[in-house]
Structures are given as C-alpha cells and as structure tokens.
Structure 1
Amino acid sequence: MGEANTRNYGPILKQYKLEPHFIEEYRNVKKVFTNKGVFALKSARKISNTQFPSMIQMLYQKGFTRVVPIIPTIDGSYLVFQENQYHYLMPWLNNSIVDERDDRHHLLFKELAKMHQYSLNEIQQAKTNDIYHHYENITKQWDERDGYLESFVIESEKKWYMSPFELLFCTYYHEISLASKYARSQLDKWYELSEETKSFRTVLTNGKVSITHFLFDEHGKGYLSNFEKASYASPINDLISFYYRTLKTFPILCDDCFGWFQTYRSHFPLKEEEIYLFLSYLTYPEPIYRCVQNYKNKKEKKSEQEYVRLLQKAYWLNKNIEYFSMKIVEEEQRKKDQEAAESHTE
C-alpha cells in the first residue's frame, strides 16, 4: 500500500520538491515520510473557502502563530488541484498529548480566544445596517419554524392513532416551545443592546472547532488546524458549532463545558450583547425543527424507529444545552449582583 501511495501522490509531492519514501493513510489525511522529514498531506473534493491559506498567513503576520501552517509549493501555490481534489501540505503534528482530556480542552479554548483577539475587527453600525437586517431575518425565520412545529402538533393530535414519532414529539412540544420563547427573548435583548452600542465585532472564525483538530508539537504546544471553512463572523459562531457537536450525546450535566467557556472568556471577554446572541442561537431548538422537517418530507429512507431515535437525540441535545446555558445565566447574574453590591458600598 505504501509503494502504491507514493506513486499516486508522487506528482503532487514533486511540486514541493519532496521525494516520498512511504505514506500512511488516515482517511483524508496522509502521513508522508519524505527525504526532508514527515508531513501531512490533506485532500478534499470540496473546500468551502479556498482563500483560507491567506487567512492563516494573516494570523502569522499579526503575531498569532498557534495555527498549523500551510506549506507552499515551489511556485508559491498553497492548494494543488489534481484528480478532482484539492491537496495541501502541512507539518505533521500529533493530536494527542499525555495531559488530561480536560486540560486539552482548556488549551484549545485558550488558543481559540487568542486567535479571535488577534483578528478582532469592530464595525460601527453607522456604516452598515447589518444588525437590523440580521435581527429581522432571524425573527422571520424563527416565526416560520415555530409555526411549522405548531402545525405539526395540531395535525398529529387530530389523528385517532398517532405514529410513535408524532406521539413523542407531542410529548416534547411544550418544552420545545419554551426553548423557542427563551431564545427569542435573548435575541431581543441582543438587538436592543446592539442598537445602543451602535457596533458589532467580527473575528476570523475557524468554522469547525474540534478537539480532534487541535494538534500538538513535540514540546506539547497546541495548534489550531482545519481552516477550510474559515470566515470572518461573530466570535460566537465558533462556540456555537463546538457546543452543538460536543453536547450532541446522551443526557449529561456538562460542568466541564462551562469551565471551557470561562477559559475562553478569560482570554477574550465577550460583550454583554454577544452573550445574549450566543444564548439565543444556542437554545433555539433548530435540531428538533430539522428532525421534524426530515420526518415530514421523508427525503431520507429511514424507519419509524430510526426517526424516533433521531428525535430523542435532538431532544437530549436541547436538554444538555439547557443545563449549560443556565450555568452561563447564573454566572452573569452573579457578576451583576457583585457589581451592584460593590457600587452600593462605594
């Protein structure tokens, strides 16, 4: 296998003046042993943002170096398109260290926060109407989704015999509607406060933050990787995507999740309105809506039992998020109470 791979990827590596001796495959990443050391060759049929190498360069220029660099070819290209795939080369780093799992997450959130700080850009609302349009678009979208879910409940309850999926959804519906109302209240608070501050912040977001993409060198220093979905957006985007994937599991009370969030905020303090926006997106029952939509449209050939299982998992995600979000709310209230007490003593 190794020899076959060296022949397959030889023309690509030749563009880096590398002679492959042996290649080990790890799904879409190849560990390439060459005459100049060990490298990682990443391959992908589609890349959301082909400009991500220049974004990584920008971070290095600003002084943030905890990103796995993309190595250019001898003609200065960062992406090689061959055999209907994109390929790019990086130094080979491990994705495991001796430290405890929780320490790894704290390191990840520390470096993510620092990356956001280095790429921070504050935009004055006087120059754009983005805040208003964003609020209008999201409220309209959520109104449509809420109406869709309410109609599904009404249709289901009219039946003499509901399907297992319909029965389970009707059982969950009250909690789902409460989650939607809470998300809306947080979005309203974000909009009101943003209207006062007349500004919002954007940063370079990774697009798919994951502990499996947080790699370590021989000295135990952590590096962010996998920037194929990188974009400039609100800092909460990276947090939302991470927690959605992390909390998509069986019911848990993830106190560690809150600890990681606190680590992030200690290095990149979120504004009050950003906390509201984060809570609104996090708590809106979007996964449950998508689950019901897939069930009604029957685009995927799944059994009733499978649809029920997916709905239950979406509900568990919603409950896990509820616990995590309440920890954030409690901390915010504690800070406000402390500030009020300190101002009263003065």
Structure 2
Amino acid sequence: MEWQQIFDEYQIRPNYVEQISDKVYKLITNTQNYCLKFSALTKDQLGHWYAVYRYISESHVLGFVPLILTKENSPYYLIDDQVIMVSPWIESYRGDRPSDEWIASFHGLGKLHGSTLQNIEVNYSQDQLTEISQYFENDRKRKKEELLQYIRYFESKRFMAPFELQACMHYRDLEWTMQMMDKWQYIYMDLLKDNQSRKVVLCHGNMKPSHYTLLNDNAYFLNWEYARMDFPSRDLSAYLNSLFTYHDCDMKKINEGLSIYFQYIRFHDIDKCELIFELLDPDPYLSLLTEYVNSTESDEIRRSIQLEKKYRQLLFSNQLEQLLYPQLEVNKEEV
C-alpha cells in the first residue's frame, strides 16, 4: 500500500499513523487528527453510495460525521480496487458522554429519520395482497417445519451435545415467537387494505452502538457506507437487536427511548408491524442451527455463545412486542 500516495491525495502530513483495527487508522498531525478507513464498499456499490452522499450534502442532513475531500473534490479515494474514506477523528472522552447513552442515541436516530421523512403513496391491488398473504403463509410453514426438523434430529440422539441441548431448551420460546408473528401478520394484512402511504427515511444502514459517538448529548453517526432510503423500522430493529444481545438490557430504558424516538417520527400500526417482523424473525437463529448441522468443525463454545445471543434477542423482542401490542390503534378501536 502506497501510504504517501494516499496522504498526497488528501494533502495530509501525519506525524504518526496508529492502527485501530484491520480497516481503521488514526492519522495524527500537528493540527488535527483524522480517521482513515478502508471501506467494505466495492466499485460496483459506489454509484449508489455517491447518490446518497449527494443527498446528505445537498439536503444538509445533520448527524453524519463529514468526509474529507480529496484534492479532486471526491469524498472517497480508489486505489488498487480499495475504497478509502477519510473523516475527522472524533475523540470521545468519558466526561463527554451522557450518563444514559441510550436516550441520547434514540434522540439522534429520531432526528435523522424525522428530518428525512418522506411519505410514499402506495395502492396494493387484490392480487398483490393475495400474493403477500401467501408469502406469509408459506414463510410461516417453512420456519416452523425447519425448527421442528432440527429439534427432532437433536432429540433422536442418545446423547446430545451442549449446543443441541441448548436448542431443545429454546424450542418452546421459539414456537411462541412464531405464534406472535402470526398474530401481527394477520393485523398487517388488514392494515394493507386501507393504508395508502408508507414512510421512507434516510437509514444509517448498519445501526449499532459502535457506529455512533456521543458528544455533548449529540449523536454523530460513523461508518455510514450503507446509508440508504428505507423503512425506519430497518434502522430501529438493527439498533434494538444490538442492544438485546446484552443480558442486562433494561426494557424500561428501551421503552423510554422508543417514546423519545416516536416524538420525532410517529409510528402508526403498520410501522409497528414491520418493526415486530424485523425483531421476531427467527431466520438468524435457524441459520445457526443449519450451520451447526452442516459443519464438520468442532467449535462448540463459539456456536453456543452465538445461539444464546440470538435467543436473547428474541426473548427481549417478545417483551417489546408485549409493550407495543396494547398501543395499537386497532386494539383501541375494538374497545
């Protein structure tokens, strides 16, 4: 790698280069520090990313850490088929961080989504509604049969490995999760018949705690290569799932954070349905079972940790479902 070529392109003269990770480097200069990242974007993805970058710049969307331009006024530099991006290095000291980071992050995400909100007109035909309903039915059947197939396979063994025993102990809760999905899908299908618009916002695309920093109660988003216009539930579910991997996740704080987020962008019943679909989807869990059965490698501890994290995400998602379900407008109308 020709480091000097990169430094010349950005007109930066670092005194020291500190490697933070495989793809991130801290460039230390006399006046300012910079973050140099080897992006995971490919050349084929640059066109879409650049369109999003132009939208962020021209619409003056706040919250994203800005990119340093090259001497050719480009927000990225391409060398040896690698995409390089440079931004100011934001140092986050403990004294700068709020006492409750979750609340500040929900504020930041709400501001981002609320400031870029667009309502897209939709009109589903009866054939389209039938197709969606059939997809839900087939998907439910596939997931239930797949889960039951694995559990029967594990239970057929005289002695089960720890991972297999772990999956069997999870079965009852996984089955309950799928029942809750059924309930929300029925509600969703009724809502689609009357709903004439959908919310679309600028999503970060890979929202998790390590991809933002907090300074003076404000959130600044990092690593936004996969930013795109999408349903707000995509970002929200990704962020919640990252929080749900922790065993001590506080659902009271999560509920408080969501209340703050919903002040920036109101979630109607159909939006809440899509959020629940993202959170209660058992496919990531089932993928781990598939990987285990098909693998010849012996890595029991790693697989058990991964399975427990996915299981924990589903457990906390079920708790959130119980909080959101009574808030649905369709339930209030029935009363």
Task: Give the TM-score, by structure 2 length.
Answer: 0.85
* SS in structure 2 of the partner of residue 123 of structure 1: strand
Number of aligned pairs?
331
Aligned to 1:38: 33
Aligned to 2:261: 264
* Match of residue 254, structure 1, among 244, 251, 270: 251
Contact 2:66 2:88 in 1 (8 A): yes
* SS in structure 1 of the partner of residue 100 of structure 2: helix
What residue identity is the alignment partner of 1:187? Q
Per-residue CA deviation, residues 63-116 of structure 1 (Å, 9 max, x unaligned), is: 422211122212122221224421111122124452565533222221212221
* Separation in structure 1 between the aligned mates of residue 32 and residue 301 of structure 2, nearest angstrom: 51
Q: Select between 43-52 and 258-267 the one with higher mean Cα deviation.
A: 43-52
Q: Select between 139-148 and 173-182 the one with higher mean Cα deviation.
A: 139-148
Q: How do 1:19-38 and structure 2 match up within 5 A? A: 19-27=13-21, 28-34=23-29, 37-38=32-33
* Separation in structure 2 between the aligned mates of residue 303 and residue 175 of structure 1, nearest angstrom: 25
Contact 1:184 1:280 in 2 (8 A): no
Q: 1:199 to 1:245 in 2, by over 3 A?
A: same
Contact 1:49 1:229 in 2 (8 A): no
The runs of 5 or more residues in structure 1 that have no matched partner are 1-6, 342-346
Contact 1:56 1:69 in 2 (8 A): no
What residue identity is the alignment partner of 1:167? L
Report the alpha carbon displacement of residue 315 of structure 1 after superposing the two structures with TM. 2.3
Q: 1:139 to 1:46 in 2, by over 3 A?
A: farther
CA-atom RMSD, angstroms? 3.2
Q: How do 1:37-56 and structure 2 match up within 5 A? A: 37-47=32-42, 49-50=45-46, 51-56=48-53
Aligned to 1:316: 312
Q: 1:223 to 1:311 in 2, by over 3 A?
A: closer
* Match of residue 163, structure 2, among 162, 165, 168: 165
Contact 2:237 2:279 in 1 (8 A): yes
What residue identity is the alignment partner of 1:231? R
* Match of residue 86, structure 1, among 71, 83, 86: 83
Aligned to 1:151: 149
Q: How do 1:284-303 and structure 2 match up within 5 A? A: 284-298=281-295, 301-303=297-299
Q: How do 1:104-143 and structure 2 match up within 5 A? A: 104-126=101-123, 136-137=134-135, 139-143=137-141
Q: 1:236 to 1:214 in 2, by over 3 A?
A: same
Q: Select between 220-229 and 72-81 the one with higher mean Cα deviation.
A: 220-229
* Separation in structure 2 between the aligned mates of residue 168 and residue 328 of structure 1, nearest angstrom: 29
Aligned to 2:179: 181
The runs of 5 or more residues in structure 2 that have no matched partner are none
Report the alpha carbon displacement of residue 265 of structure 1 after superposing the two structures with TM. 0.8
Percentage of matched positions with identical amino acids: 18
* SS in structure 2 of the partner of residue 166 of structure 1: helix
Contact 2:39 2:85 in 1 (8 A): no
Task: Give the TM-score, by structure 1 length.
Answer: 0.82
What residue identity is the alignment partner of 2:245? K
Contact 1:63 1:118 in 2 (8 A): no
Q: 1:183 to 1:220 in 2, by over 3 A?
A: closer
Per-residue CA deviation, residues 304-341 of structure 1 (Å, 9 max, x unaligned), is: 455444433332332222223323335x169976x999
* SS in structure 2 of the partner of residue 202 of structure 1: strand
Report the alpha carbon displacement of residue 29 of structure 1 after superposing the two structures with TM. 2.3
